Structure formats: structure tokens, C-alpha cells
Amino acid sequence: METTRAKVIEKAVGFEELISQLLSMLLDIDKNSSKSFGNQSSTLSFNAKINLLIDLKFITTEVGKDFVLFAEIRNKFAHALNVDTFVKCFEIIHDSRNRFLKKMSDEISKIDQNDESVYASCFEILCFELGIWLRETLKMISDKKSQDLNKIGAIEMIRSFVQYDSSKREKEYKHFIETIQPVIAKIIPDEKFLEEYKRLLKDAEEK
């Protein structure tokens, strides 16, 4: 049977991996070779990564507080030998107890404050909310980076074609259109891209 400590540490390992991926994408760093986010001894601590996310102002105040709360729980189970239940954990970090228990209800009785099953349910809710936020945010950034690459690729293809030998351009036009259409199809246009796209097409027509 999985212990409470094992459950907390396992969740923390999973979250740390996702947070490392997120920070690497935000800072445009290769995670696998990174000294800060890879698997080397110099890797930033779990708390340092969360603080970095907060310092970058990438997360809302509420999500930031939830990550700090999770980090407090994780640290107590990871470093305090006598902490093997959530009840014992919150006897130490009692200032965070109300925020944690509100995950389940705004009003928690004195009896429930000593009920391990209530704490376990709150922990599951906290992990679910943080997990959803991390996965959705990673997907959003990944999609944006993919979009940015497609936009850059399309613009550079058009620019190269405009600068191509004019005597050969007409002959190559059909092939160029067939090549660029799949790239354009993947792009969700924004104002900046459309302006550059129209300017390059105008240059092509003038030449």
C-alpha cells in the first residue's frame, strides 16, 4: 500500500518535471542540456523553480499561492522524519491549513481538522487543479511556439521567392505555391503577420 509520504513525493516529482519543461520553453532553453532544469546536481530546487515562475509573473496570484502551498507540503514530507500524515504536516504549517482545507469546503469543523481523509481529499483536489494548469499551459506555449515557427517559415519562404531570379520566378511559381500552402494552412493569422504577408505579396507583384 502506498504511503502518504510516497504519494506526496511522487506528485512532486511529476510536477517538477512539468515545471522544468515550462520554464525551459518560456526561457527558450534546451532542458536536456540545461544545468538549471536538467537532471544534473546543479539543477534548481523545486522551490527555486516555483519562485522563478512567480518572479516571471507568468502565473496568477492564486495559482502561485497554490504552488507555494504544495511546495510547503512537499518539503515537510521530504525533510521531516516525523511527518507521515497530512494532519502532522499541518500541525507544523498551520498558517496554511485554512487555505488547504478550503479546497474541499469554506467551512471545516474542528473534527474535520483532525480527519486524515479530509486532508487527503483536499490534497487530491490541489494536485488536480495544479496538474490541469500545468498541462494546459504547456500545450498553450507549445502551440504558440509552433505558430511562431510556421509564421517565420512562411515569411522567409515568401521573401526568398521575391528575391529569386525574376526570369525563373514565373516558372517556379506553381511549385512555390504548392510548397507554401501547407505552411500557411497551419497558421492562425495575427495582425503583425498579415501586415508582413501583404507587404511581401505587394513587393512580389511590383517586381
| pLDDT tens, residue by residue, 117-141 | 989 999 999 999 999 988 888 887 7
pTM: 0.68
For residues 92 and 170, membership in a common domain is answered with no
Residue 146: pLDDT band (50, 70, 90) is: low
Domain boundary among 116, 141, 166: 141
Q: Domain residues for 134?
A: 4-141
* The total number of structural domains that make up the chain: 2
For residues 137 and 157, membership in a common domain is answered with no
For residues 129 and 197, membership in a common domain is answered with no
For residues 12 and 43, membership in a common domain is answered with yes
For residues 120 and 81, membership in a common domain is answered with yes
Residue 162: pLDDT band (50, 70, 90) is: low
For residues 136 and 200, membership in a common domain is answered with no
Residue 166: pLDDT band (50, 70, 90) is: low
For residues 58 and 125, membership in a common domain is answered with yes
Phi, psi (5° rounding) for residue 23?
A: -65, -40
For residues 101 and 136, membership in a common domain is answered with yes
Mean pLDDT of 106-124: 79
For residues 86 and 30, membership in a common domain is answered with yes
Domain boundary among 117, 141, 165: 141
